[in-house]
Structure 1
Amino acid sequence: MWNDDNGSWNGMHDGGAWVGMGLMMLLTTLLVVGLLVWILAMLRDSRHASTTPPPATTGPSPADEHLASRFARGEIDAAEFESRVEVLRLARLDRR
């Protein structure tokens, strides 16, 4: 309430509370604008990622070559080689 003794409103001299409210409005505005920019950047990145074709592979991957060399040295048998090649193939399909 108004205090007639010193001419202030609950101890808020010269509108000090309005300065605090102005700062809060500024911070809120910056927060909202920053959030909108972040959302737009995420949407743009996700749209770009979905339209970019996967890179073309021109031969066996290093993992395939490693498996082939282990098979050639006799470290793994044919059944294990085939099962591991299948696991690699499925992993590549999942990444696309």
Structure 2
Amino acid sequence: MMIWYDHNMSGWGWFGAGLGMIAFWALIITAFVVIYRALTRPGDRIDTPPWAPPAPSSPEQLLAERFARGEIDEEEYQRRLRVLHSSGPDLAKH
């Protein structure tokens, strides 16, 4: 009786079945991870859609980023920071 012997599957059949099982479990695990990350994303607001652009940075933040990237030196950073703090809203009038 050869009914239980290999179910008439060749080596490639076993390989395909194993590969299919790995792909199935990878898909299930990936779905759970994506759902978990979407539900536990910190700082998200419900009223803001995910495709909305980020809030604009303040002038001080932009200046600090340029300084951190090395685009300007410390003297230039301090000078521009003083101008921002001394002029404030009056800068828009010029």
Q: What TM-score do you get using the length of structure 2 for normalisation?
A: 0.36
Q: What TM-score do you get using the length of structure 1 for normalisation?
A: 0.36
Greater share of strand residues, 1 or 2? 1
Which of the pair has more CA radius of gyration? 1
Greater share of helix residues, 1 or 2? 1
